[in-house]
Structure 1
Amino acid sequence: MRKLPLHIRLAACILAVVVLSVALAGWIAPYPPAEQDLASRLSAPTATHWLGTDHLGRDTLSRLLDGGRFSLTIAALATVLTAVIGTAIGVLSARRRGWLDEFFTRTNDILLAMPEMVVALFLVAALGAGYPALLLALTVTGWTPFARLARALAYDVSARGFIEAARVLGCSPWFTVRRHILPHLAGPLLGQATLRFGQFLISVGALSYLGLGVQPPQSDWGSMLAAAQPYAVRSPMTILAPGLVIFTVALCVTLIGQHLARMSSSRLLLATAPAPEATHA
């Protein structure tokens, strides 16, 4: 097994630290995230408040750890849902073909032509802010890249000899998909999922920044950015901290996703390369 590049290992370590810190926020946060101390409002980083405080005197580090739960959870749930839905549609389309394939392909093309953020804004504004609406808004168009990738890969795998052999042996369609098609799709789809996670994280932050995500007194990274904007000059850390966390996590996940995608592409090329002809003495 090849050694992972240094930047990939570094990205994985940073991501692991952030996720672990957010998961343990209830135990390691120095203060309750909603606790106010108006006497210390907009204070600079000190030994007491490592990242300073916001305009209500709330500890920035504590709110950063607590707010990460919402941002990371919604991004992760949206990634899992869109990956499952898109993969199922893509594989079904490739296996059934005919009018069903044409219907899903045209639907996919229409949704891909729509800006995801505009659709998400419309849905969240229509349904109201909150977890269900935000998750639905990210899922409605988010499954389309997975469906397109899964359909293309499933078409390729279905044309191979071992799929025909499985059919001749009497294997059920579900068994063929589960044992022979999905394992070949796992690597590329995992790379796609990590890339989409970074995009969803940025989308969640953008929607929350516009007031369409989590509602007070709860917080997430996007709402922290919005609340800190009027005080950016007086207390830069209140806006730098959540912005840097969003940027860092999205960058780390994207780097890992690109690496996984390259590895999957290399394996697919090796798997589909024609075998060298036997040499005769």
Structure 2
Amino acid sequence: MYLYMNGEMVREEEARISPFDHGFLYGMGLFETFRVYEGHPFLLVDHLERLNSSLEMIGIRKSLNKDEVIQVLKLLLKKNRLTNAYIRLNVSAGVGAVGLPVEPYEHANVMMFVKPLPEAGGPTEKEAQFLKLSRNTPEGPLRLKSHHYMNNLLAKKEIENRTDVEGIFLTEDGWIAEGIVSNIFWVIDNQLFTPDLGTGILNGITRSFIKELASKKGIQVKEGFYKTDVLNTATEVFVTNSIQEIVAISKVDSLVFPGVKGELFRMLHQAYQMYTNSLWSRKEIN
């Protein structure tokens, strides 16, 4: 496979970064993962807005615009002969002296790589379990999609290599937070609930899209701080991320849910599929 790195297309086995890149030394790097459907980068504008805002927040002087990313993406897809793909767009701080600088980073490393994906299929479901490991608090005022992933990696060890299970974090205070690689939603009395950003979760792009989509469908969305017993009265549960889309949950620990048979899940999943080949931002939902 070929990847893009700082203006060049290189074979993945030939890609190199310096050991003095602060993205490696200190975790000063950010990334976005998104999905391409038949050549269309779904919600690309939303991903770039989050990335650019986060880069400014941590002092990496780099901003990526839609046109340049599309140009690179087209070349990358063509080079790898793909039309449906997983994309990771990564920006690291770049080379710096050993130590903790306070000045902005001026020479970021930009990388984009792809993995093939099949065409989008029908609805899918998993089981879920609450993790013993607590969700760590964000490194700054809010959680960024950064290189700091040890908490997620350690959590993944709890569920081992099972691909049919998602682990759900709780905060140290016992609030429902998010999945290892997802945001979580549930349904009570035909209303949609999801944890508040104040729990320290990532403001997922698909999370925001689902909230907007549900609102357009006349479904009230509530965000707050919830303990695990709230699921005792829930009628549906699902999780979201940009690659897996919406995944129905059939079981959380001992609680059983309808999974892909859930009415609200099915409606949202069907609506989601209508937009994947055309939408640039959730703001375009009509």
TM-score by length of 2: 0.23
Tell me which protein shows more helix as a share of its residues.
1
TM-score by length of 1: 0.24
**Bigger RCO of structures 1 and 2 (CA < 8 A, at least 6 apart):** 1
Tell me which protein shows more strand as a share of its residues.
2
